Chains A and B, each alone.
Chain A
Amino acid sequence: QSVMTQPPSASGTPGQRVTISCSGSNSNVGSNSVFWHQQLPGTAPKLLIYKTNQRPSGVPDRFSGSKSGTSASLTITGLRSEDEADYYCTVWDDSLSAVVFGGGTKLTVL
């Protein structure tokens, strides 16, 4: 069981806005940058958001990240069918001295 909690599933229709949460603690989300990775079916994870709210080159601005206290969020606006994937929050945990992944959220585009 991960030290960071994500909802196991989320869904939306094309064009909608979807938010995926990641709940942690003071030793991880509360004190360090949050990263988000997208994993399309059958492929390796891809970096989607770094340093909590920064997008790598090539990631559409429909994807955004934020953080408040010990919770982080990934928001996708203008949902598209190709966004159907698993999404993981990732953060360094100071207490564990380790990288921790959230349990992942499977996003379904209806």
Chain B
Amino acid sequence: QITLKESGPTLLKPTQTLTLTCTFSGFSLSSSGLGVGWIRQSPGKALEWLALIYWNDEKRYSPSLKNRLTIMKDTSKNQVVLIMTNMDPVDTATYYCAHDCTSPSCNEMGLDYWGQGILVTVSS
């Protein structure tokens, strides 16, 4: 059974750096074709994709946010960390991490398992 859970600060001040951790179980990020992504959703708004890291340490970032984002993985701890710098009130959102399957071995199902999300508020 695949599960993911986001953790980190829920309240930040403008200009601070956000560090979120996704702790997962039921799969290993050393398995070919797997990845973990981060997605956010501002209140009342659409989903916005942020970043992805794959089993081979390949990384992809949202073009509009790539200068502020860093994604990394700790395979031994089953964790993926997302760092976002220079936080602003417009970054207030629920942040989700999700399991990503790009391998035929898991039917290339994409973002198929999601965490419950963590609401991060940026306010002075």
Which residues of A line the B interface, CB within 8 A?
A: 2, 33, 35, 37, 39, 44-47, 50-51, 54, 56, 88, 90, 96-104
**Size band of the B side of the interface?**
20 to 34
CA distance A39 to B46 in the complex (A): 10
Shortest Cβ distance from A2 into B: residue = B46
**Chain B 77-114 per-residue mask, 1 if CB under 8 angstroms from chain A, else 0:** 00000000000000000001000000000011111111
* Min CB–CB distance A49 → chain B (angstroms): 10
- What are the residues of chain A within 8 A of B75 when measuring CB–CB? none
- B46, A47: Cβ atoms under 8 Å? no
Main secondary structure of the interface of B (DSSP, over half): strand
**Chain B 36-59 per-residue mask, 1 if CB under 8 angstroms from chain A, else 0:** 010100000011110010000000
- A54, B107: Cβ atoms under 8 Å? yes
Main secondary structure of the interface of A (DSSP, over half): strand
- Residue in B62, B96, B107, B109 whose beta carbon sits within 8 Å of that of A45 in the complex: B96
Which residues of B line the A interface, CB within 8 A?
A: 37, 39, 46-49, 52, 60-63, 96, 107-117
